[in-house]
Amino acid sequence: MADRPWAEELLARPAPERGAELTWLGQSSYVLRAAGATLLVDPFLTPRDDRLVPPADRPEAFAGVDAVLVTHEHYDHFDPDACRELASASPETPFAAPRPIIDQLTDLGIDAARIAPMQPRDRIDVGSATVTAVPACHAVHASDGYSLGEELSGGDVRFLGYVVEIGGVRVYHAGDTIDFDGLAEEVRAAGTEIALLPINGRLPEREAQDIVGNLGPEEAVELAAAAGARAVVPMHYDMFAANLGDVGRFAGHASTSHPELAVIVPARLRPLTVV
């Protein structure tokens, strides 16, 4: 008999009775679990020749999650094939995404009634978890310039992060973002304790290839500290050879500049419980 798919094994395990379980799937993909809630954030599950890290599992193996959260439209965050297969395999599972890209989900055949169109400070309840949207500063194309995307979206914010209150812990998943005025205050106001932040940075040579950048290692640490988080977790640094981040710089800067800030570097596919 074939082994049970990894994701099915994960979801079949009892969730922690106390605290939140974080499982990193690579890049910015996470499973967040606690008693009464399982959320899949930015599921990037499609095989590609340029991936350095294979998909955690087939999308249908994640059937039964309580919600899928999408931060923005880039394929390593909004994976159309994976979302289509997830929606088919798990017909009761709702999706949440920035309001300007809802049509990209409905174009996959996902019923609009299943999709929560999100804007900053919007909140939804998912089982025992609460999800609050936070703005992010990014771009569809590097030539657009970095912004909240309002000029592309009829005044709506196009790029989001989410603060998820789950298992008594508030986890901020930043999606893709650089720092901007008011972000730390917004994240602090949401009560963030654990900050999951991109660390791949932004470089002119990458932007010339239309690779839109993010916080760098030091910037991520500074944002987490300014937002009052007690722990910071790096992400978005491992998937593509042309867009890697430096975890050593990240951890070193935290150690020397913010020793009060815990650094957590998860192993892929290894559940980690935070309380």
CATH of the domain at 219: 3.60.15.10
Give the pLDDT score at 1. Answer: 39
At residue 4 the predicted structure's pLDDT band, cuts being 50, 70 and 90, is confident
Number of domains forming the structure of the chain:
1
Percent of the chain with pLDDT over 70: 99
Q: Which residue has the tokens 């500049």?
A: 257
CA distance 238 to 65: 25
Could you tell me if residue 115 is inside a domain?
Answer: yes
Number of H helices, E strands in the chain: 7, 14
Could you tell me if residue 273 is inside a domain?
Answer: no
Check residues 1 and 236 and name the one with the higher pLDDT. 236
* Ordered alpha helix ranges (H), 64-136: 80-89, 102-106
| Predicted confidence (pLDDT) per residue in 44-84, tens digit | 999 999 999 999 999 999 999 999 999 999 999 999 999 99
Give the pLDDT score at 164. Answer: 98
Give the pLDDT score at 2. Answer: 54
At residue 252 the predicted structure's pLDDT band, cuts being 50, 70 and 90, is very high
217: phi then psi, degrees, rounded to nearest 5:
-55, -50
pTM for this structure?
A: 0.97
| Predicted confidence (pLDDT) per residue in 110-131, tens digit | 999 999 999 999 999 999 999 9
Q: Closest by alpha carbon to 47, among 73, 76, 87, 11? A: 76
The stretch 1-13 carries a mean pLDDT of 86
Around Cβ 123, how many Cβ atoms within 10 Å? 13
The rounded mean pLDDT for the chain is 97
Q: Closest by alpha carbon to 230, among 265, 192, 189? A: 192
Could you tell me if residue 69 is inside a domain?
Answer: yes
CA distance 186 to 179: 12
Q: Is the pLDDT of residue 3 over 90?
A: no
Q: How far is CA 131 from CA 65, 91, 100, 135, 244, in A?
A: 15, 21, 18, 13, 29
Q: Is the pLDDT of residue 159 over 60?
A: yes
Range of weakest confidence among 3-7, 207-211, 265-269: 3-7
Could you tell me if residue 95 is inside a domain?
Answer: yes
Is the Cβ–Cβ distance between 20 and 131 less than 8 Å? no
Name every residue whose Cβ is closer than 8 Å to that of residue 205 and which is 6 or more positions away in sequence.
none
148: phi then psi, degrees, rounded to nearest 5:
-80, -5
What's the domain range around 250? 6-265
CA distance 223 to 187: 9
CA distance 3 to 217: 38
Could you tell me if residue 170 is inside a domain?
Answer: yes
Could you tell me if residue 274 is inside a domain?
Answer: no
Could you tell me if residue 270 is inside a domain?
Answer: no
Could you tell me if residue 45 is inside a domain?
Answer: yes
